[in-house]
Structure 1
Amino acid sequence: MSTFSNSHDRLTDMKQFGTDPGSLHADTYIPKNFPKNGPLVVVLHGSTQSAESYDRGSGWSALADECGIALLYPEQRKTNNPINSFNWFKSGDSRRGDGEPLSIRHMIEQVVDDHAIDPSRVFITGMSSGGAMTSVMLATYPEVFAGGAIIAGLPYRSADNLMEAMVRMKGYGGPSDSKLDSLVRDASTFDGPWPTISVWHGGSDSTVDNANADSIVRQWQKIHKVEGPPTRLEEVDGFPRQVWCNADGREVIEEYIIGKMGHGTPIMAEGEDGLGEEGKYMLEVGISSTRHIAHFWGLAE
């Protein structure tokens, strides 16, 4: 099990990045063994969390030490949102070239420049509001990311205001399947190759209904040209994993629904391969989403 009492010592405050129109804070973690042209993972915390608490719970910086991965932690400010949620449902914070997405884009550019990161190996993950903002980033800046992982999140543009967001979180309404993919296509002028998508959700999540996980998968199926049932279904650490492969046989979408789990990030803190630590919305269920996501992206064994 990874033990570090204070991840605050691990994360470094990022003093400057672009014009920061979304008025966000940023932290980084660059492990000592980070190689030139190494990969970057952008990690977005959930509501009521901080960069520090999410790092401690998820174990990303411990995995970064293991595998030589640079980390960027965008962080919400209470002045933007009283419960520290990313504002994924606001029109000014869900479009390319505007608000929080542009702030995050500026951070990425700065980190890539500062640490000689391979721009073709930039990935993004987030939980809850951070998961929904991951959907925003993948849609608005698809050319930036090789892959994304959305945990307990929602599809892109499923809501345009707070009232709609509350309803969508409960699993009601939302864009029709025929419109889901066009929302992503219309968010930029990009034409591929598109980022791979990893989707994680608790089967008993009463905060963000897991119908949203299936909507995220459907949003990206048409874009990746992998409509229909999964290419294969397998069991990983006792949980079902659905995989969609493209015409070349490459895995482009995966989905894990974690049986009886509520709202949060699935972790496995115990044992030889243990990562992170249990806490609020960091749920010990015997599978490390962090480790499996990194593996899906080709960053970990």
Structure 2
Amino acid sequence: MPKPVRLFAALALAAGLIAAGHSSASAAGGTFQQVTGFGSNPGNLAMYSYAPAGLPAGAPLVVALHGCAQTATDYYDDSGWPKYADLYGFAVVFPQTDAANNSLSCFNWFDSTKDTRGNGEAASVVQMVAKAEALYGSDSHRVFVTGLSAGGGLTADLLADYPDMFAGGAVDSGLPAQCATTETAASGCQYGSQNLTPAQWGDKVRASDPGYTGPWPRVAIWQGTADTTVQPVNGTELRDQWTNTWGIGQTPSSTASLPGGTTLTSYDDASGNPAVQLYSINGMGHGLAVDPGSATNQCGTTGAYFLSAICSSYYTAQFWGLAGGTTGTGLPAPTGLTVSGTTATSVSLTWQPVSGASSYDVYRDGTQANASPVTGTTYTDSGLAAGTSHSYTVAAVDASGNVGTQSAAVTATTSGGYTPSCYTTDNYDQTVAGRAFQSGGLTYATGSGQAMGLWNVFTVHTLEETAPGYYVVADSGCPA
């Protein structure tokens, strides 16, 4: 078939051909509905939204973009975002495209007339944000955007186009911002490395809104290691792009193992808060990671390209600091939350003090961990299982007991878990063994996506498996 048709077909499969017939539904206390009259709508999109009943003014806002051949209703039903809107207190906008814009209802992440600042679909999404802020009284400083596949590509573009609007984003099985500016170039982004330096990737962000100097959005990147539609190297390129934009380098500040064979690498800003996080899911193909269940850290419905692994929406919400909900008193989120130590059964945390705080609450995996008020800026969470990972946030509490906004999340893993293994051989054998993958004649470590050079039997590297299915280059010594 012609190249454009192949491209759209691949993206349609990537986003999931969800069966027709979904209907709008009410979650716990709120209603999913279409919103009209949100602006001139140059991108010809439809706007849908969900807000919990009784949502007060000043709550956050999330924009969630579906993939090809999907609808806003599909994403509402299966992604898990309504659960956390109810739990944490925020509104969600679900933009929708259709076949009139793209033959397979893909967002046009590769078209510079539609995905750049002030133009087309990007401008329509911005108009939806303004409409939602007016409808729900949303906090304009806590607007976030996330998307799957083609929706993930447009998410990255929006973060680059409007860093003044979005406080954070999450790109799920998506592409770097402005990776392609034409339809014919899009498949090259999907299937191979663009061989750009981090600075060149960062320049694409900086050029999207010339003159803007920050603060930059905090970016979560979700990528399956077995994705053959949007190759895993895209996760690495997204990491390179946004760490360079932040000016923080590509060396992880921390690495942790999460459920579903997921390895999290975090890249902290100058204050010690995660600015960029890469979630690499071992063995997962192309889709949105979900984990059906009733636990706080479980969400979503499995189906075509809604893949059972880990609840990506939960961890993204934690990363953005949404778990603070709308109970805030004006006390800001604590900064500098850091894992100061771990044992087989405990995690120790520290953070910076907040003016006006009389105590602090610490949250583990979305649930309060401290049984009594924490009056200092340190806390040790004990009684944990060995080799387990947990996400932590902290919130300031005033003298009346009112809880402020929760901090950005950090992840910690107790000791006694996975034992690293080391493998030294040529790039060809590393690839055959599944410890690496090749793209465009070059080799990359599975999980971390680190470059290893040419795919041949002459180039030799040592790889360390730091978590199940996650490998890093360890030529200088293994285990590190």
Secondary structure at the aligned position of 1:27 is classed as strand
Secondary structure at the aligned position of 2:76 is classed as helix
- The residue identity in structure 1 corresponding to 2:143 is V
1: distance between equivalents of 2:317 and 2:108? 26
Residue 168 of structure 1: which of 173, 180, 189 is its match?
189
Query: Counterparts of 1:103-122 in structure 2 under 5 Å?
Result: 103-122=124-143
Residue 88 of structure 1: which of 80, 94, 109 is its match?
109
Report which of the two structures shows the higher radius of gyration computed on alpha carbons: 2
Residue 69 of structure 1: which of 68, 90, 98 is its match?
90
TM-superposition CA deviations, 1:253-276 (whole Å, max 9, x none) = 100110000000000003523311
Distance 1:65 1:6, change over 3 A: farther
Query: Counterparts of 1:136-147 in structure 2 under 5 Å?
Result: 136-147=157-168
2: distance between equivalents of 1:33 and 1:252? 32
Query: Counterparts of 1:139-158 in structure 2 under 5 Å?
Result: 139-158=160-179
2: distance between equivalents of 1:190 and 1:7? 41
Distance 1:248 1:7, change over 3 A: farther
Residue 147 of structure 2: which of 116, 122, 126 is its match?
126
Under a length normalisation based on structure 1, what TM-score does the superposition of the two structures give?
A: 0.95
Structure number having the greater strand percentage: 2
Q: Is the 8 Å Cα contact of residues 233 and 240 (structure 1) preserved in structure 2?
A: yes
Q: Is the 8 Å Cα contact of residues 206 and 212 (structure 2) preserved in structure 1?
A: yes
Secondary structure at the aligned position of 1:212 is classed as helix
Q: Does 1:290 align with 2:313?
A: yes
1: distance between equivalents of 2:164 and 2:68? 27
Residue equivalent to 1:236? 258
Decide which moves more: 39-48 or 274-283: 274-283
TM-superposition CA deviations, 1:58-79 (whole Å, max 9, x none) = 1111221111110001111210
Residue equivalent to 2:295? 272
- The residue identity in structure 2 corresponding to 1:209 is Q
TM-superposition CA deviations, 1:146-201 (whole Å, max 9, x none) = 10000000001111112211121002436443311111111113211111010001
Distance 1:7 1:130, change over 3 A: same
Q: Is the 8 Å Cα contact of residues 127 and 153 (structure 1) preserved in structure 2?
A: yes
Residue equivalent to 1:14? 35
Distance 1:243 1:149, change over 3 A: same
Q: Does 1:214 align with 2:214?
A: no
Structure number having the greater helix percentage: 1
Secondary structure at the aligned position of 1:292 is classed as helix
Q: Is the 8 Å Cα contact of residues 159 and 169 (structure 2) preserved in structure 1?
A: yes
Q: Is the 8 Å Cα contact of residues 168 and 174 (structure 1) preserved in structure 2?
A: no
Q: Does 1:51 align with 2:72?
A: yes
Q: Is the 8 Å Cα contact of residues 193 and 234 (structure 2) preserved in structure 1?
A: no
Q: Is the 8 Å Cα contact of residues 198 and 244 (structure 2) preserved in structure 1?
A: no
1: distance between equivalents of 2:316 and 2:173? 14
CA-CA distance at 1:247 after TM superposition: 1.4
Q: Does 1:40 align with 2:56?
A: no
Q: Is the 8 Å Cα contact of residues 46 and 95 (structure 2) preserved in structure 1?
A: yes
Secondary structure at the aligned position of 2:113 is classed as helix
Q: Is the 8 Å Cα contact of residues 59 and 275 (structure 1) preserved in structure 2?
A: yes
Q: Is the 8 Å Cα contact of residues 239 and 250 (structure 2) preserved in structure 1?
A: no
Residue equivalent to 1:186? 207
2: distance between equivalents of 1:275 and 1:92? 36
Secondary structure at the aligned position of 1:123 is classed as strand
Residue equivalent to 1:227? 249
- The residue identity in structure 2 corresponding to 1:72 is V
- The residue identity in structure 2 corresponding to 1:40 is L
2: distance between equivalents of 1:155 and 1:167? 12
- The residue identity in structure 2 corresponding to 1:169 is Q
Decide which moves more: 288-297 or 47-56: 47-56
CA-CA distance at 1:6 after TM superposition: 5.7
Under a length normalisation based on structure 2, what TM-score does the superposition of the two structures give?
A: 0.60
RMSD across aligned positions (CA): 1.4
Q: Give the gaps of 5 or more residues in structure 2.
A: 1-20, 27-31, 324-365, 367-480
Q: Is the 8 Å Cα contact of residues 59 and 276 (structure 1) preserved in structure 2?
A: yes
2: distance between equivalents of 1:168 and 1:28? 31
Count the aligned residue pairs: 296
Secondary structure at the aligned position of 2:24 is classed as helix
Percent of paired sites with the same residue: 34
- The residue identity in structure 1 corresponding to 2:289 is P
Q: Give the gaps of 5 or more residues in structure 1.
A: none
- The residue identity in structure 2 corresponding to 1:110 is K
